[in-house]
């Protein structure tokens, strides 16, 4: 397995699918690496907001059903990016269904629209679990940068109704997830500037920068609204398990953003692990090396495969 992952990593680098400073997995590369017998459903609408269709691409493995599910949330500073980005699709070959999802972007849509959309996607997947042979009890999320922030929020806000966006559909289903893989996601936006490395290219407190565009106001002038987007504020003992990966040379999102999330999770005895990658920058190719991919694989298998359920438990 390690040799297979290493070979895939080298293939992606040679093919130019990933490059320094980016973790982008484009549709053509996805299709070329999907295992034989897998099935792809593109552009499935999971919600509609004022005429704007929110869609997901669903990749079904060639494996024994029901399939554990990974929801993939793309990055892009909450203002850019598309659902065909990310590396979660690598898990299809390991027996996971993967759903790459849309969410509304800032500044056109302010928080909490983004997390409401993510929750709507999870509820839709559970509502359609029988249709696609999904295991609704084994739903995890993987997010990158801004998507890591939203993935962390999914992991800590399972019962927070003010962020649910129930009007987006399927109110009878849960938006809770069992496992979170958070790649270098921001957490406490108000601390971004104070924690920034000297290589930070801008001022995170600038009203024209992404954090303020997400919240809809200069973040330091509206701390109460900004704190509503902080996953740390919602941590409880029954949260999802977390695997957090962050580079120590990240110039865009300080590694301390992941440290304070990890510390908050452990205070509440949540199953959490923080992996700091020495010298890695934001979305560094090092995250796809076998050393760190194996950690992700082991974490997902522990929390989403071979689950012990009480007799008669619903899937």
**Active site positions, annotated:** 145, 250, 282
Closest CA to 251 of 212, 201, 207, 183: 201
| β-pair type (241-247, 134-144) | unpaired
> What is d(CA 193, CA 281) in angstroms, rounded to the nearest whole number?
17
Instruction: Compute the distance between CA of residue 184 and CA of residue 170 in angstroms, rounded to an integer.
Output: 31
Across the beta sheet with 272-277, the strand order is 39-49, 52-60, 97-101, 67-73, 134-144, 179-183, 241-247, 272-277
User: How far is residue 237 from each of residues 96, 160, 167, measured CA to CA in Å?
Assistant: 27, 14, 28
> HSE of 179 in the Cβ direction (CA atoms, 13 Å)?
25
Rounded CA Rg of the chain? 18
Cis-peptide into 76, omega within 30 deg: no
Cα separation, 77 vs 210, whole angstroms: 6
CA gap 24, 22 in Å, rounded: 6
Backbone angles phi, psi at 35, to 5 degrees: -70, 155
Other beta carbons within 10 Å of 41: 13
């Amino acid at each position: 397995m390690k040799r297979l992952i290493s070979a895939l990593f080298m293939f992606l680098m040679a093919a130019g699918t990933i490059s320094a400073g980016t973790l982008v997995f484009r549709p053509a590369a996805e299709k070329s690496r999907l295992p034989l017998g897998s099935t792809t459903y593109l552009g499935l609408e999971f919600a509609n907001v004022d005429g704007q269709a929110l869609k997901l691409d669903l990749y079904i493995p060639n494996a024994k059903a029901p399939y554990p599910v990974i929801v993939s949330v793309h990055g892009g500073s909450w203002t850019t990016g598309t659902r065909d980005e990310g590396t979660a699709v690598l898990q299809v070959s390991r027996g996971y269904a993967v759903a790459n999802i849309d969410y509304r972007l800032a500044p056109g849509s302010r928080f909490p629209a983004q997390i409401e959309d993510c929750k709507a996607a999870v509820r839709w997947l559970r509502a359609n679990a029988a249709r696609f042979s999904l295991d609704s009890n084994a739903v995890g999320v993987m997010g990158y940068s801004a998507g890591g922030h939203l993935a962390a929020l999914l992991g800590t806000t399972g019962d927070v109704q003010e962020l649910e966006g129930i009007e987006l559909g399927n109110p009878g289903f849960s938006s809770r997830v069992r496992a979170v893989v958070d790649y270098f996601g921001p957490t406490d936006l108000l601390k971004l500037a104070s924690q920034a490395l000297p290589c930070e290219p801008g001022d995170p407190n600038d009203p024209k920068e992404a954090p303020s565009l997400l919240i809809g106001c200069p973040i330091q002038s509206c701390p109460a609204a900004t704190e509503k987007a902080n996953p740390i504020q919602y941590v409880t003992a029954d949260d999802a398990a977390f695997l957090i990966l962050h580079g120590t040379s990240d110039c865009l999102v300080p590694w301390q953003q992941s440290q304070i999330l990890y510390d908050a999770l452990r205070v509440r005895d949540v199953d959490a692990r923080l992996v700091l990658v020495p010298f890695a920058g934001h979305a560094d190719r090092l995250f796809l090396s076998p050393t760190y991919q194996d950690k992700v694989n082991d974490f997902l298998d522990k929390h989403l495969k071979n689950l012990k359920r009480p007799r008669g438990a619903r899937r």
